[in-house]
Chain A
Amino acid sequence: MDELPPDAGRDVTRTGRITADPARLEARRVRRRRMDLLAKAVITVIAFVAIAAVALIFLFVAREALPLVFGQFRDEVTLGSMILPQAWREGAGAIFSWQPVSTVPKYSLAPLVVGTLKVTVIALVFAVPLAVGAAVFSAEFASRRTREIIKPAIEMLAGVPSVVLGFFALIVLASLLQNLFGFTYRLNGIVAGIALGLALIPVVYTVSEDALIAVPRSYREASLALGASRARTAWSVIVPAAAPGIFAAVVLGFGRAMGETMIVLMASGNAAVLSLDPTSSVRTIPATIAAEMGEVVVGGAHWSVLFLLGTLLFLVTLTFNTLGARYVARMRRKMGERS
C-alpha cells in the first residue's frame, strides 16, 4: 500500500505542465496511509462484532443452564434424571417422560432428542433425493434457458417464511396425507418431516448444484468421448466427482433441519412420545423451547432445562454448519486446482 503510482504527487496543470513538489507528495502519502489504517480498523471491528455477538449469545444461553449442571435444582432435576429412565411411582417401570408442568416435573430429554432426530431424518430422506435430482438436472441436462428458470424458482423456496410452510402443512398437507394413508394421528412425524423437507430443498439444491457445476469440463468430455451416454456420464462420473460437495449440502441441511422451529411447532402435533414410529406425533427440541418459554418461572428448574436444551441445539447446529461450510470451502479449492 506504500507503493504509489509513478505520477503520484505530481499535478498535471491545465496547461499540461507537470509539477513535482516533494513536500506535498509526502503529505499526501501520510494522509493516505492514515485513511488506510482507519478503514482497516473499522472493518476489523465490524467483523469482530459479528463474532462477538455469536459468542455472547452462546455465553448468555449457557450461563442460564449452568445452575442445572452444578446441581442447584438437585431435588427436582439432575443431569442423570434427564438422561436415564426414571421410575416415578412405587412399583412402576422406569420410563422416559417429558412432563415439565406437573406436581412432579419430569424432564427426560430422550423423547425430545429422538423426536428431533426423527423429524430431521424424515426431512432429509424426503428432501435430499429431490434436491440432488433437481441439481443434477439443472447442472447436466437442462438447457441454459431452462436452468435460468429452475434455479431461481427453487431458491425462491428459501424465501418462503417457515410459518407459511407450517400453516400449509397444518391445513392442507396433514389432511391430504391422512386421507391417503389413514394415519391415526393427523399431525405426525411424516407431515412435519415433509414440510421441513420443503424448507431444506433450496439449501441442499444450491450447494449440490454448485458442486456439480464445479466438476471440470474435461471429466465430462472424457466420459462422452469414451462413448458413455449423458445419463451414464452424470451418474457415474459427475455425481461421484461432486460427492464431497453433495455431502456438504446434506450436512448443512441437517443443521438447518435440527434448528427449524415454526414448521415443526405447527405440523408435528408436539406430543412428547418416545417412539421410532414415523406416524406418531413428535415433539422437537426447538418447538419445545418456543412453546414453553413463555410461561416458565424465570430462573427456575424448567427455565434452566430449556436453556440447556438451547445450548445443546446451539452446539449441534454450530458443529454441523461449520462442518458443512468447511467441506464446501475445501471442495471449491480442490475443484479450482483441478480445472
Chain B
Amino acid sequence: MRARILLLLVGVLSLTACPTCARRAPRDEGGAPAPGSSVTVKGSDTLVLLGQRLAEAYMASAPGRVVQVTGGGSGTGIAALINGTTDIASASRALKDEERVQIEARRGVAPVETTVALDGIAVFVHRESPVTALSLPQLKAIYTGKLTRWSELGGPDAPIVLYGRENNSGTYAYFKERVLEEEDFAPETQTLPGTAAVVNAVTRDRNAIGYGGIAYDSGIRIVAVREDAGAEAVAPTEDAVVHGRYPISRPLFMYTAGPPRGAVKAFLDFALSPEGQALASKVGYYPLPVGAGRVDEAADANPEADTAQPPLLEQPGEADAEAELP
C-alpha cells in the first residue's frame, strides 16, 4: 500500500515538474482584431463602471459591436495585457517600468497610453471636525506619521486616526506619489477596501481622516486642499479638477499593446468623443480638458469613419502628459 502511495505521489509530482509548459502562453491575436469583432477591457475596479457604461452606449450605437468589460484591479488588467488575454487594460495608475518591459518582451510592441477621464481624490474628516482646509505638506506629515495630533492643526487635543485604501488600489498609489512624494504611509494607517468603506469608517470616528474617490455623505466633511501653505484652498469641484486647480486629481488610463487599431481604436475613440466624456461625468469622473489632444473634433467631423482612419488618434495620453508639463 505504501509503495502504491509513493508511486501516486511520484505521478503527481511529475505532472507539475514541468514549470514552463503550463505557464500562460502568450495568446497573440496577430496584431489587431478585425473591425467589428469583440473587444475585451480588463483592469481597474475604479474604471469598471465607466467602462461598462461606455461599452453599453458603444454597442448600442451600431450592430455587431461587442465590448466585454471586467474588473479585477489595474494590476490584473495589465497582467492580462502582458499575456495577450485582453485588448485593453484599464488602469487608475500609470504602468510601472517592469510592466512596460514585460509588454515589450511578450507582445513585441510598446504599450500605448490613452487618458480617458480625470478623477479627483478627496480628503475627508468627520463632520464635527473643526478642520476645513489642509495643505499638501500638512497631509504628507499626517499620513507619514510625523503629525499625530489634531491640536497641531487647530483641532481638539486628540490623536489623528488614519484611514486609507489598500495598497493594491490605484488611489493608494496615486495618493502616495502625489501627496506623500513616494514616502511610506505610517504603519498605523488602517487600510480599507474601497472608498465607501473609508467614508463609512470616517463617519463613525470623530478623530478620523481618510481619502478616496470624491464621495458625498452626511457624516463626513470634504476638506479643501492647498498646494502649499500660502496657496488658495481648493475644494474638489468639477470646475477645479478639470482646470487643474485642485491639487490631487489624476488621469485614468486605458492601455493597449501597440497603437490601438480596428475595433479597439473605434472603442477608444468613442470613449474620447463628447458622448463618451459625458458618460464619464455621469458616473462621477471628470471629462478631459478641451484641447488636450483629444479626438472630439475629428470624431465630430467624420462620425462613421472611426474605424477606418488611423491618423485621427494622436495617442491622447502622451499629448496629455505634454500638456501638463509646463
Contacts and interface: CB of A to CB of B under 8 A. Distances in A.
A271 B98 contact: no
Interface in B283-300: none
A102 B75 CA distance: 15
Interface stretch (A149-157, A204-212, A289-297, A314-322): A289-297
B168 A294 contact: yes
A104 B149 CA distance: 28
A323 interface: no
Closest 5 pairs (CB-CB, A-B): A295-B168, A295-B75, A294-B73, A269-B190, A101-B167
B12 interface: yes
A269 B198 CA distance: 10
B238 interface: no
A297 B188 contact: no
A56 interface: yes
B209 to A, nearest CB: 13
Point out which of B78, B166, B169, B204 has the most chain A C-beta atoms below 10 A from its C-beta. Answer: B166
B75 A52 contact: no
Nearest to A186: B205
B12 A270 contact: no
A256 interface: no
Contact of B98 (A52, A272, A297): A297
5 contacts: A101-B173, A291-B166, A293-B168, A297-B96, A298-B79
A311 to B, nearest CB: 14
Classify the secondary structure of B's interface with A. mixed
Interface of A: 48, 52, 55-56, 59-60, 63, 97-103, 106, 111, 170-171, 174-175, 178, 184-187, 265, 269-274, 280-281, 283, 291-298, 300
Point out which of A60, A280, A283, A298 has the most chain B C-beta atoms below 10 A from its C-beta. Answer: A298
Contact of B16 (A60, A100, A178, A300): A60
A292 B166 contact: yes
A265 B173 CA distance: 20
B3 interface: no
B219 to A, nearest CB: 12
A3 B9 CA distance: 35
B72 interface: yes
Contacts of A111: 187
Contact of B76 (A60, A174, A187, A295): A295
Given A52-B12, A101-B176, A297-B99, A272 B187 contact: yes
B21 interface: no
